[in-house]
A = this chain, B = another copy of it.
């Protein structure tokens, strides 16, 4: 292995580059970002050695780390242009539509559908950190559809980054992520909106915000360019989760209206069992 090309030099693509450079300093990194500022920042920060839109034909692994709505077209074009020895991996947060889009592509075996479970509320090349992916989970979907030889290249890279591989089908991935990631972002964005709305009649409303608020609202700092597409790419699952969430909030509100102390207490007590579940995972 000697050459890696990364499309999308933001938080994930950049962190991947930093970590892999450290683990395998002999590799050559090329890359591209459609945003000229991001591309020049990425070069300045040394995330990639050379900027170019198309990967060289002797590239071993091409990583696509762009927003979810750009991936189907980008993946198809990339597959059309590569040699037989190149593997394409994507880092997208939704997998069903993407896997469907290339299901019949003649070079489907040169694609590995991936998703690193890692991130922060920040975005862009400057947010990249060499340890972001370290010991995190990397989900692989439809692994049986990828050529076994090319898959070896991905495993070599992911192992060098200390990532833990998990295998699941795209539908299961999207259903689970809707609940444990996408819904968290919506709850956080809407909490932020609610307090911003309140600020219109009470400009000091943020003064007393403590660590609890900071924690629940942190994801409201996330990039719209990344998250707006996810809302539509994973629409069905997100709507299921969001409707359940709204219904739960409404029932909780009813209990407050009814001064139902016992109901509120027992509801919260039952939810506390999340302590054990989260401490295990």
The interface-forming segment of A7-15, A55-63, A243-251 is A243-251
Bound: A120/B79 CA distance, A: 49
Considering the complex, which residues of chain A in the window 168-220 have a beta carbon less than 8 Å from any beta carbon of chain B? 172-173, 175-177, 179-181, 183-198, 202, 204-220
A119 at the interface (CB under 8 A from B): yes
- Report which A residues bind B (CB closer than 8 A): 69, 117-121, 136-137, 139, 166, 172-173, 175-177, 179-181, 183-198, 202, 204-222, 224-225, 227-229, 231-232, 235, 238-239, 241-246, 248-250, 252-253, 255-257, 259, 261, 264-275, 277-278, 281
How close is A257's CB to chain B, nearest CB, in angstroms?
A: 7
How close is A7's CB to chain B, nearest CB, in angstroms?
A: 21
Count of this chain's copies in the oligomeric assembly: 2
CB within 8 Å for A176 and B194 given contacts A210-B119, A221-B272? no
Chain B residues in 8 Å Cβ range of A268: 189, 222, 224, 227-228
Q: Which 3 pairs from chain A and chain B are nearest by CB?
A: A224-B268, A228-B265, A180-B209
How close is A4's CB to chain B, nearest CB, in angstroms?
A: 24
* B242 A249 Cβ-Cβ under 8 A: yes
Bound: A239/B222 CA distance, A: 27
* A117 B210 Cβ-Cβ under 8 A: yes
Write the chain B residue with the least CB distance to A259.
B232
CB within 8 Å for A252 and B176 given contacts A206-B277, A210-B118, A272-B221? no
Write the chain B residue with the least CB distance to A242.
B253
Please list 22 pairs of residues, one from A and one from B, whose beta carbons are closer than 8 Å in the complex, sorted by A's number: A117-B208, A118-B210, A137-B208, A175-B202, A179-B194, A180-B205, A180-B210, A185-B212, A189-B252, A190-B248, A190-B252, A194-B241, A196-B271, A197-B248, A198-B241, A206-B278, A209-B278, A209-B281, A215-B216, A235-B256, A235-B259, A239-B253
